[in-house]
Structure 1
Amino acid sequence: MSSNKTMKWIEVGKILAEDPNEKVQCPECEQNNLEVQDIRNESNPNELERSMHCPVCNARNVLRLKRPI
């Protein structure tokens, strides 16, 4: 992954960390909004994985979030 695309994923991750319902374009193809799904960690209730997926180009990334204790 190029440095520019990595930075785009980081920016998208920051936006979706704040609001998973925000509409953001895919950093890879810029053709469609990412689909977001939250996955709870059964073994650690303070941790959440936010999966980001583009239905057009199939790019995906995962954001791991931790709740403050």
Structure 2
Amino acid sequence: MTDTWQTIARLAGRLEDHSTLPREQRILLQLLKIQEEAGEVAEAVIGAMGQNPRKGCARDTNRAPYPSCAS
């Protein structure tokens, strides 16, 4: 596990070193990106559980990741 965190720290450092944005703006954008990804995971889980009737049929873990469904 230590190797994983060392790799993450190294990659984060490289991104930090090459960014031209102010620190506050970088942090804000990083947090927004994490939130965006979490929202996509939530959408996938909700769809796989069939809890979004507005979108018609839901994808499940056994289907190809395409929005169309054959009935």
TM-score for the superposition, normalised by structure 2: 0.33
Q: Which of the pair is proportionally richer in strand? A: 1
TM-score for the superposition, normalised by structure 1: 0.33
Higher Rg of the two aligned structures: 2
